[in-house]
Structure 1
């Protein structure tokens, strides 16, 4: 510990150079090297750890010059894995910091040089803008042999589970990162932001709910906030799609997607392969029924397949109580999971089974891992051995996990009182996390805080045609500079108005409408946002 004051003095002396105001790189590299092997005291973190240590610190030269600092935060339970984290300290610091969330079961450190979810092409990401950025693996490491973000084996350890599911790793990483930032620059950030999508979107809401003063601004995209509730629906759908003859193969998924688009595309006043009036889209899959209801080929759906498709698009309710208070999951729009340009996230290309194929849908593989390591903690269990409708002896464990995984506190008034601002985003054609669930959370927040007060700290946008994380080739590849909008809101008091989202793949723009609005075509060039008006 005697080394800390001396190190702090060295780093503070070189702070002007690190901030881009002193002589070029002479003092930058020594300051970066001085962070190597630094002890991170447990006292700087508000949640229990046994401290941490920087494992490496190296200057990265490129378009953006920065010091990359890797560190381990040690657990209380010796059997739990350490939290591996990374901080990027730019030479030209803008006195701001950005934390990134993860995805799926996490297990890898997000790219600290990346952009925010749905970030626009050609606009610099946070690090390139001068932000000090940081992230962690949420307290466990992905098995390299497992599909990316689909390794749930850490769930057998309670501390690792709390780090991931309850978000404990977020606060530990945030506190340790700000400690390193203060040492490096001799001052704390003026603003600290958080951005994440999917699991990272849930983590963004966890941060606002549990630590309302920890972040000044939060971007939460397609958030899996009711994680266990969605898992129960995914488990039910795994059961449905595993039935002999019920799984619609790739050709039938394409048929379904094309039929939905044909039925709903023009509801916004223009035919452009984007269903903008997502709220008004109605499609009955029985219109695709094979003669007699039997499977007669790729040009129709059998009765069993219609039942499976309807199950995906319908709310799922369970007839028992769980600790989180949740009672169901709202299901997915027909546009989700039916687009063969992104089969992996929806149905997959192969029916689920007890020995889960890697070609099944992402959600079904997620359920498989959850059953093995979160619920039963027995990797010998198959995903079809637990029925979410009738869990039997597993009900108590499901209820206990719901209190950890469903981050559903809708009272964001403490976050608002601390000056926090929240941007919520979701794609209307999301095939993995239902946009209906995010709309549900938004309505809960409004019910608690009131519409007027909610509008002072929260904006929620549904992007027509956009899917989960712009995966594959969605109908609308969303790009919006949400970070600049958030900066202006927090730093200048300019609330987001008249926002425009770009389809970066098709060179067209649309107005970004506040929920429940959607863009209706009125006149002019259909590739320009000015030709549309937000309507309800």
Structure 2
């Protein structure tokens, strides 16, 4: 039986702009939370005297309208509060640590709190406007513009301590989850001091590591949050990083250029011209599976059997020239896309689906350069996720040493370290980085909380197959009814967090608010490209023949956006069906 959901004028007008939604089905036993209520800011400068345990406010001042802008529009006047929590000196490395934060409080507050979970290895207090956390490319209205009180933090260490903060056990825990646990009640108390009441509704949103943090909050702190928004979540980030490093030797075996500027050039293993060759072949086999040839592969599942790298890409008979792949390359690519397995055959980390987004520059950034030139994967595994952390401090200072660590990475020796503990590091990397019992979110569900997860099908570092497996496990645990409180939206063509040949501009936060506070479950999320003239900024990965007004519905897994009738460039011409 085919399940179909389409836009209607009534539905669109009844929901927040840019979200598509319907009322929860009759008989749903979920608690319906009440909508938040607006109020005005009572004070700002006086918040410098805010008193909370282990907290020091360093400044509190008003920021004039236009002091921040987003998508070419001024952000309204608001209060900016900066401070620190839990300042201490480490007995391990002698460094001074603290959880640095800033909060931005709008004058006209809508009664909502947003924890802005940040990406990467953190260490930066990015502007607390709720934009960077939303995961959409070029977000047109950020959380501050939507009337949220927003907090951003460095997760317990500063940039100069990256990645060596991983030697300090408490800094590890703060980065993994405890900064959220410390900051959240403090932020709500500060909001009460500013407005005369705590937030009516609380949300956490983030992308990449921030998406992981959002799901950690769903698991560890469900009593603190009503809505969870996670983009490209590294649910089991240490596994993903180890899996990525396990492929470096494979890429090295087919690299055509060994060294560039003193470092290995693994991107020569599969340069852009060859990735474009693969993308074209994927489109040839899979583009029409959704009923429309448009440069997007909506039916990722059907594409798994429709596309075959060995069959559909010519094998070079002589030198590589961008029109073929060598037999050795094909073996390597197939291995990289396949699940990583333990010696006993058990799956360690899922594989990746073939997607035309392989041709966008960010794919190479994560598959190649972050293992060598930026050294992000080697130092994360070496210092933050492993027990004990590496004793070779040069890994953090010398990219050539990090590149050597990646090339010589021994999976069977290094992999167990992310599960290990000792007398100093009493939680393993997998423990402090992962949401415990990630598929068992009964406490959040029972109190009416909701989750939206979005993930690009072309993400090269955190596999969308891992997120899909998490959602299936969630559905099994919750009796086949996970969609009553959690929905997962794959984004065709999108790379890690944003970009790629994709409709990557959308407003999932408003869709989440509609669901949490008004019971309007998102059966689609309206998404657009970021073409020429887009106020949120151009996505350079958009093919030149895509019109700048292209829109598509993002469909909840496992439904697929299939063409029905009408203008092929408009979301209303597509339906989310099996």
TM-score by length of 2: 0.77
Task: Give the Cα separation in 2 of the matches to 1:141 and 1:56.
Answer: 18
SS in 1 for 2:212: helix
| Total equivalences in the alignment | 478
The equivalent residue for 2:475 is 446
Structure 1, residues 421-464: CA drift from partner, whole Å, max 9, x if none?
11111122222221111101101111111112x22211111122
The equivalent residue for 1:458 is 486
Change (3 A) 1:394 1:484: closer
The equivalent residue for 2:20 is none
Cα distance, 1:496 vs structure 2: 2.1
Cα distance, 1:372 vs structure 2: 4.4
1:133 equivalenced with 2:150 (yes/no): yes
The equivalent residue for 2:86 is 74
Task: Give the Cα separation in 2 of the matches to 1:76 and 1:327.
Answer: 40
Task: Give the Cα separation in 2 of the matches to 1:368 and 1:311.
Answer: 24
The equivalent residue for 1:400 is 428
> Where in structure 2 are the equivalents of 1:155-170 lying within 5 Å?
155-165=166-176, 167-170=177-180
1:389 equivalenced with 2:412 (yes/no): yes
1:290 to 315, 322, 327: 315
Choose 398-407 or 177-186, whichever is displaced more: 398-407
Conserved? CA contact 1:90–1:127, under 8 Å:
yes
1:518 equivalenced with 2:551 (yes/no): no
Task: Give the Cα separation in 2 of the matches to 1:340 and 1:495.
Answer: 33
Conserved? CA contact 1:84–1:139, under 8 Å:
yes
Cα distance, 1:534 vs structure 2: 1.7
Cα distance, 1:239 vs structure 2: 2.8
Task: Give the Cα separation in 2 of the matches to 1:38 and 1:215.
Answer: 23
SS in 1 for 2:253: coil
SS in 1 for 2:288: helix
> Where in structure 2 are the equivalents of 1:166-185 lying within 5 Å?
167-185=177-195
Structure 1, residues 87-118: CA drift from partner, whole Å, max 9, x if none?
11111111111111111111112331143524
The equivalent residue for 1:470 is 498
1:60 equivalenced with 2:60 (yes/no): no
Conserved? CA contact 1:368–1:383, under 8 Å:
no
The equivalent residue for 1:193 is 203
Cα distance, 1:250 vs structure 2: 2.8
Conserved? CA contact 1:40–1:54, under 8 Å:
no
Cα distance, 1:498 vs structure 2: 4.5
Cα distance, 1:371 vs structure 2: 1.8
2:454 to 403, 425, 445: 425
The equivalent residue for 2:118 is 102
Change (3 A) 1:416 1:249: same
Task: Give the Cα separation in 2 of the matches to 1:492 and 1:396.
Answer: 42
Task: Give the Cα separation in 2 of the matches to 1:89 and 1:436.
Answer: 38
Considering only aligned residues, what root-mean-square deviation do their CA atoms show, in Å?
2.7
Task: Give the Cα separation in 2 of the matches to 1:392 and 1:125.
Answer: 39
More strand, by proportion: 2
Cα distance, 1:308 vs structure 2: 2.2
Task: Give the Cα separation in 1 of the matches to 2:107 and 2:189.
Answer: 17
1:263 to 285, 290, 299: 285
Task: Give the Cα separation in 2 of the matches to 1:341 and 1:388.
Answer: 27
Conserved? CA contact 1:152–1:370, under 8 Å:
no
Cα distance, 1:291 vs structure 2: 3.3
Conserved? CA contact 2:277–2:323, under 8 Å:
yes
Task: Give the Cα separation in 2 of the matches to 1:426 and 1:396.
Answer: 26
Higher relative contact order (CA 8 A, sep 6+): 2
Structure 1, residues 256-303: CA drift from partner, whole Å, max 9, x if none?
2232223221221211111111111143222434334x6433322222
Change (3 A) 1:114 1:212: closer
SS in 1 for 2:410: coil
1:301 to 325, 340, 360: 325
Structure 1, residues 453-500: CA drift from partner, whole Å, max 9, x if none?
x222111111222222223xx211322222222222222222223443
Change (3 A) 1:351 1:440: closer
1:332 to 345, 348, 352: 352
Change (3 A) 1:384 1:404: farther
Task: Give the Cα separation in 2 of the matches to 1:340 and 1:295.
Answer: 24
Cα distance, 1:164 vs structure 2: 1.0
1:357 equivalenced with 2:373 (yes/no): yes
Change (3 A) 1:513 1:230: same
Change (3 A) 1:351 1:194: closer
Unaligned ranges ≥5, structure 2: 1-37, 66-74, 257-268, 396-404, 422-426, 532-547
SS in 1 for 2:361: coil
Change (3 A) 1:403 1:319: farther
The equivalent residue for 2:399 is none
SS in 1 for 2:152: strand
Change (3 A) 1:208 1:114: closer
Task: Give the Cα separation in 2 of the matches to 1:80 and 1:155.
Answer: 14
Unaligned ranges ≥5, structure 1: 1-17, 22-27, 42-50, 145-150, 359-363
Conserved? CA contact 1:37–1:55, under 8 Å:
no
Conserved? CA contact 1:217–1:420, under 8 Å:
yes
Task: Give the Cα separation in 2 of the matches to 1:203 and 1:331.
Answer: 23
1:486 equivalenced with 2:512 (yes/no): yes
Change (3 A) 1:351 1:141: closer
Cα distance, 1:66 vs structure 2: 0.8
The equivalent residue for 2:248 is 238
Cα distance, 1:122 vs structure 2: 7.3
Change (3 A) 1:52 1:445: same
The equivalent residue for 1:124 is 141
